[in-house]
Structure 1
Amino acid sequence: MKDSNLKRWKLEMPDTYVILFIVLLLAAAATYFVPAGSFEREVVDGVERVVPNTYSKAENDGTGFMDLFLALQNGMVESGGIIFLVLFAGGAFEIVERSGAIKGGIMRAVAKTQGKEFWLIVIISVLFALGGAVGAVANSVIPFVAIGLIIARALRLDALIAVAITFGATFAGFNVGFLNPYTVGIAQTIAEVPIFSGMLLRVIVFVIIVGVTILYTWLYAKKILNDPTKSLVGILDMQTNENSEEALQEPFTTRHKLILLFVGLALLFFVYATIKFSWSINHMAAFFIVIGIGSGILAGMNYNKITLTFLEGCKNLVYGALIIGVARAILIVMENAHILDTFVYAIALPLENLPPILAAIGMFVANMALNFLVPSGSGQAMIAMPILTPLADMLGLTRQVAVQAFQFGDGLTNSIFPTSGTLMACLAVAGVPYVKWAKWMLPLFLIWVVISIIVLCIAVLINWGPV
């Protein structure tokens, strides 16, 4: 019996938290042998920038036992805004889902697209990709994975598809970010390039990358539809008491339509306010409370029902939300030991003697590596762009090319690096093991990399400027 339990323990896949804790331990170990150093920083127009050519050695304090666990605590505190955004969004969507509006609407769409599952996947994927491209949906995609699960279940597909058409599509759009103020906008501002310039080429690349992503997702979905045993994680069962044909007749009432209309308009305003009023994460989290209350009233719930349902939705996403804080703890360990800038310096140094095309590709690869350490797009922009900008000038590259090398490097790896709190949270919500996702995602990730390299080569050859 003991041997049987031991064998089962050895074969069991590590939990998401276990994977991240292993990475945290590796980061802590690195603080004892990686030299400490730092760049000087300056604040310009409210943005902290690294001052190029100012790297110098610093004192290195290795991470102690309690420091390791304090990093977990501080990671939760520092990520509080994002964590509560996830929880409150989960609460709001729990109310909407309990009203039956989402299920009724999706079942109606599924019923009308029977035999046309491809177009349902296309429509959902494009919407999320646009959300990622304009910066409206990134970390906030986590609660939407629950909706993806409903769609995947209705189509007799698996949880991988649920993540692919929500998180995957969002970051396919985020890869290019043609109107993303948090990545391209900040990077262009630091590089002193007109904000959102170069949009035409970026829109073309957006269409290509999103199109390839949808095709890749559909080919996998089609394989499952033809043979459910081909699923990497097992298909989802319809959660109804009746058969699937009766489930497709789920009522879709006028009240349901009003709730979905309210939520749709609220989310559009959400996007507008994010860009127009520069809403912070705290504003976004608070706004989901408004959405939850408004949806509950339209659903005919009383105040106790609204409150308890909202809290139930929060509870369902606690597992996924806290992962964000664990991912942040990894960065805190490196920042406290002053080894983060050392990694940045080591990545930038070899690029100085490369020809333009190879230098552009090198910037891209370097930013992919950097994103393992700094999964925040805006944070990475503030660290990398002050180094890449003068480097681009020295190597004869346009600053627009440097911006896009950063954007590709930051964007692509969000979909595969386990240090991405958003990725790990989405997988947790869907119940998809990281190893299974990595197996599915790796071929698509490599296709994205090839497309990115081709685009950067073209950009260098045409001397892509601010237009």
Structure 2
Amino acid sequence: MNLQKKEYFLKVGKSKKRLFKMPDSYILLFIMLIFASIATYLIPAGNFEREEDGLVPTVIPGSYSQIESNPVGFMDFFLSIQTGMMEAANIIFLVLIIGGSFAIIDSTQAINSGIMRLINKTRDKKILLVISVCTVFSIAGFLGILHTAVIAFIPVGVIIARAFKLDAIVGVALIYLGAYSGYTVAGLDPITTGFGQEIAGLPVFSALWYRFIIYLAILISSILYIFYYIRRIENNPERSIMGTNRFSSNHEEIDENIPFTGTMKVVLLYFIVCLAVYTVGVFRADWGLNEMAAIFLIIGIGTAIIGKINPNEFVKKFVKGAQGMIYAALIVGLARSIVVVLEDGLILDTIVHAIASVIEPLPSAIGAFSMYIFNLLFNLIITSGSGQAAIVMPIMAPLADIIGISRQVAVLAYNMGDGFTNTIAPTSGILMASIAVAGVSWVKWLRFMLPLLMIWIVIGAIALAIALAINLGPF
């Protein structure tokens, strides 16, 4: 009888597990939007005065004042979603255009064939391939290029992962974590590190040697973690976080015997040249996401001409490819609406002022680590590096003087705080678009990323402790 009862309860437990299904990313973001709206009723409104000179308006320390509350009303709540869509329009349309252009490229089989050729040559050198891909993208992130444009390369990562019979998470990790391993300290990025140091009154790109050491530690830990996950699912495919459906239905099986024709080689060369032109444009002409969208239109049209795809067929394939990206595109706007609510509710400056008031009386070491933790958390709301610098650095720089730490340490705390939690922030349009393009839900990505994020945070804490011990200076 006891055995029968035990079997019955086991069956009931299994059926309940089957009934429970993790909410879709859209639902989770909508719940977060509700909580953000409630916060506008609970947190007093306030603002800092701002100086308009420079890259973006920066706050004036000591200018905080409480103002009349502006909670988000019922109609404002739903309007914020449309506003979020409009504010994130450049990313949304970039995702749609990438989807359309990649559909044209896919129809030629050029990238699939080229990658299969590469993989066949490196079949016994998978470790070398992973290290190479991650390192190349990390260098781009360290230089401050391509971390926003990383979305464009996610399909390539997915193709590599599928060819190796892994899962979509590996495809995202190779590209996204590669780029963000460099971006976490962004040693030569003028928009984050350069802007933050300029506000703090430090020489731009100072203490580069120290940032480079941190970058190497982050990159090595990321590569080792990706290897750990790859080995785990190779030994037991059931341990894939993606479950049995390891790839989205949008990602078709790859024919390992695709011939690498002359036309395919020309298409692939054209694709690489266009991306090289974009990279030069980033360095020379401050190109951004809008220019990347234009480049992908050029890629799509040029590929159609090389592949002799007639205009009507081009339109059908392009629209179908864009349709496949609707989920990824719209989720970016919903994520942005959370920030819209917090900004319209006028509570972000209040949060910064409150934290600064708490940190000011603390001992120097505790104060420095408090800055670090604050930036890790605040970045979940404001994922823009320059936007976060404009809000927090004018407060943190003089605060560093008060508690007795170098301003370089304060900038480092901001840098790592901004970089690390970008990789899980649901308010980050770049992250949400990247994982959605690969067909990975935010919850599954969070499960994969959290252990590595904890490792990064520990590395950052150690780096901050050493910086305090050596009194990391301006140079």
- CA drift at 1:300: 2.7
| Contact 1:132–1:173 under 8 Å retained in 2 | yes
> Which residue of structure 2 aligns with residue 412 of structure 1?
420
Distance 1:238 1:337, change over 3 A: closer
Q: Indicate yes or no: 2:46 matched with 1:37.
A: yes
> Which residue of structure 1 aligns with residue 283 of structure 2?
275
Q: Indicate yes or no: 2:466 matched with 1:458.
A: yes
Alignment of 1:361-380 (within 5 A): 361-380=369-388
- CA drift at 1:430: 2.2
Q: Indicate yes or no: 2:116 matched with 1:131.
A: no
Q: Which amino acid aligns with 2:199?
A: I
| Contact 1:130–1:170 under 8 Å retained in 2 | yes
- CA drift at 1:20: 0.5
Distance 1:387 1:233, change over 3 A: same
| Contact 1:71–1:332 under 8 Å retained in 2 | yes
> Which residue of structure 1 aligns with residue 296 of structure 2?
288
Q: Which amino acid aligns with 2:44?
A: P
Alignment of 1:105-116 (within 5 A): 105-116=114-125
- CA drift at 1:46: 4.9
Per-residue CA deviations over 1:116-138 (Å, capped at 9, x if unaligned) read 22222222222222232222223
Identical aligned residues as a percent:
44
- CA drift at 1:310: 2.6
Q: Distance in 1 between matches of 2:303 and 2:470?
A: 51
> Which residue of structure 1 aligns with residue 90 of structure 2?
81
Q: Indicate yes or no: 2:177 matched with 1:168.
A: yes
2:70 to 54, 61, 64: 61
- CA drift at 1:303: 3.0
Q: Distance in 1 between matches of 2:248 and 2:462?
A: 43
Helix, strand or coil at the partner of 1:353:
coil
How many corresponding residue pairs? 460
Q: Indicate yes or no: 2:218 matched with 1:209.
A: yes
Q: Indicate yes or no: 2:193 matched with 1:198.
A: no
* Structure 1 stretches lacking a partner, 5+ long: none
- CA drift at 1:10: 5.8
Per-residue CA deviations over 1:279-327 (Å, capped at 9, x if unaligned) read 2432232222122222322233233333333333222212111111111
Alignment of 1:133-148 (within 5 A): 133-148=142-157
Distance 1:320 1:354, change over 3 A: same
Helix, strand or coil at the partner of 2:96:
helix
Q: Which amino acid aligns with 1:409?
A: G
Q: Distance in 1 between matches of 2:262 and 2:145?
A: 28
> Which residue of structure 2 aligns with residue 232 of structure 1?
241
Distance 1:8 1:271, change over 3 A: same
> Which residue of structure 1 aligns with residue 274 of structure 2?
266
Per-residue CA deviations over 1:331-359 (Å, capped at 9, x if unaligned) read 11111111111111122222212333322
Helix, strand or coil at the partner of 2:58:
strand
| Contact 1:87–1:318 under 8 Å retained in 2 | yes
Helix, strand or coil at the partner of 1:372:
coil
Q: Which amino acid aligns with 2:240?
A: S
TM-score by length of 2: 0.91
* Structure 2 stretches lacking a partner, 5+ long: 1-11
| Contact 2:33–2:338 under 8 Å retained in 1 | yes
1:323 to 320, 328, 331: 331
> Which residue of structure 2 aligns with residue 334 of structure 1?
342
1:299 to 302, 307, 317: 307
Per-residue CA deviations over 1:80-131 (Å, capped at 9, x if unaligned) read 1121122222222222222211101111111112232222222222222223
Q: Distance in 1 between matches of 2:363 and 2:17?
A: 53
Distance 1:83 1:451, change over 3 A: same
> Which residue of structure 2 aligns with residue 386 of structure 1?
394
Q: Distance in 2 between matches of 1:156 and 1:46?
A: 45
Helix, strand or coil at the partner of 2:42:
coil
Q: Distance in 1 between matches of 2:143 and 2:213?
A: 15
Distance 1:296 1:446, change over 3 A: same
TM-score by length of 1: 0.92
- CA drift at 1:254: 2.8
Q: Distance in 2 between matches of 1:45 and 1:139?
A: 21
Q: Distance in 1 between matches of 2:424 and 2:248?
A: 29
> Which residue of structure 1 aligns with residue 444 of structure 2?
436
